[in-house]
Amino acid sequence: MDKNALSLAKLWSLLRDQEKKLGLDKLSLTERDIFLCVLFLQEKNKLISLENIIKNCRHPRATLFRCLKKLRLEKIIQVKRDNVDTRKSFIFISSKYL
C-alpha cells in the first residue's frame, strides 16, 4: 500500500473512532453528511437559519428534512422558531457536539 493510501486509511479510521465516541455511528452516512454541513455552516453563530441550510445542502429537500428530523429525535440538534416571524426556523447544535 502506498503512503497516501495508508494515510487516508488512518484518517478514515480516526474519523470513525471519533464518531463512535460521540454516538454518531448510529446515523446513516447521509445523516452524518447533513450534520457536518450544519456544523460547517454554523461557524461562530449559535443559530443557523433553516433557509441557509436548504440553500447550501447538496441533498434533495425531502432527504434533508428527513435527516433533520432524525437528528432532532436523537437530540443532536434543536429547532427554534423565530419570535418575530414564526415562519422562520433556526437550528442549533447540542453543546456535546461542539
pLDDT level of residue 98 (50, 70, 90 thresholds): confident
Q: What is the DSSP letter of 60?
A: -
Q: Examine the pLDDT at 4 and tell me if it is beyond 90.
A: no
In percent, the amount of the chain with pLDDT more than 90 equals 78
Q: Which CATH class is domain 27-97?
A: mainly alpha
49-93 tens-digit pLDDT: 999 999 999 999 999 999 999 999 999 999 999 999 989 999 999
Type of residue numbered 25? D
- Report the candidate in 87, 65, 67 with the shortest Cα–Cα distance to residue 76: 67
Q: Which residues contact 45 (CB under 8 A, 6 or more apart)?
A: none
